[in-house]
Structure 1
């Protein structure tokens, strides 16, 4: 299946948001099997999940997981939501690969947990005893 986790129930969706590291970006693709644009952007979404390994990528089929689609107020497919610390920080509608990657880049480096010591954008040498 790769690095994208398929969400099958609202409880699983909430659990993924809760257990993801506070620093990690969570990207959610709300999709449907009958949605042509959803199928078109799916391979690109898969590539992004490999390109940005410090983010969590989820896929929600709105027909299989209607409760989550309703609770997140999704009415257009594809819709992408971006979460940090369980809070939705942004969203986009439509199959626009450039916009999708721009949003990921915007939020990806905000506290990935990898470089949270020192000054942002600078490497810090740590001494291990």
Structure 2
């Protein structure tokens, strides 16, 4: 641990501790975690501390969709399997699965891995009636071929293997 700073509320009481860690700074992140006075801890850079492999912090080959136009252009790619992760920046399970999703984008490099933040492009998430994040959609030629709601690494891996067996 490199440094601790305390965030004080209006009353002057300590309400949270901001912890800066060396393992986060090596990735160019400015912070490690924010811990509230109730003991809840929230990572601030998306680095999954529970995984030993730090190499995937850069999100692999995942493309971030920021506009409806980019979404449409991506879905129109013929013959390409597209895996879309609907996520949110505030979602804890999304932060946990993000590094693994990045790893899978390198392992399955013939697929196109994209991420859509439900708050950045709400029109897209609303059109798919996203009720929980992360939610993964699998597309081929604009057709939905599978869907996974949740952030279990094993379930995502199984879906990718199954799709590989069926479509490649």
Tell me the TM-score normalized by structure 2: 0.62
Aligned length: 110
Higher strand share: 2
> Residue 110 of structure 1: CA displacement?
3.8
Are residues 1:18 and 2:66 paired?
Answer: no
Root mean square deviation of aligned Cα: 1.3
Are residues 1:96 and 2:148 paired?
Answer: no
Q: Deviations over 1:82-125 (max 9, x none)?
A: 0111101111111111111111111124444xxxxxxxxxxxxx
In structure 2, the partner of 1:45 is: 101
> Residue 31 of structure 1: CA displacement?
0.4
Distance in 2 separating the partners of 1:94 and 1:67 = 21
Which 5+ residue runs of structure 1 have no aligned equivalent? Answer: 113-129
**8 Å contact 1:28–1:59 — kept in the other structure?**
yes
Counterpart selection for 1:29 from 61, 65, 85: 85
Moved over 6 A (4+): none
**8 Å contact 1:25–1:108 — kept in the other structure?**
no
In structure 2, the partner of 1:122 is: none
Distance in 2 separating the partners of 1:43 and 1:34 = 16
Tell me the TM-score normalized by structure 1: 0.80
Structure 1 segment 54-69 matched on structure 2, within 5 A: 54-69=110-125
Structure number with greater CO (CA < 8 Å, separation at least 6) is 1
Q: Deviations over 1:20-74 (max 9, x none)?
A: x31x211010000100000000000000000000100000000001011011221
**8 Å contact 1:79–1:93 — kept in the other structure?**
yes
In structure 2, the partner of 1:117 is: none
Counterpart selection for 1:73 from 108, 122, 129: 129
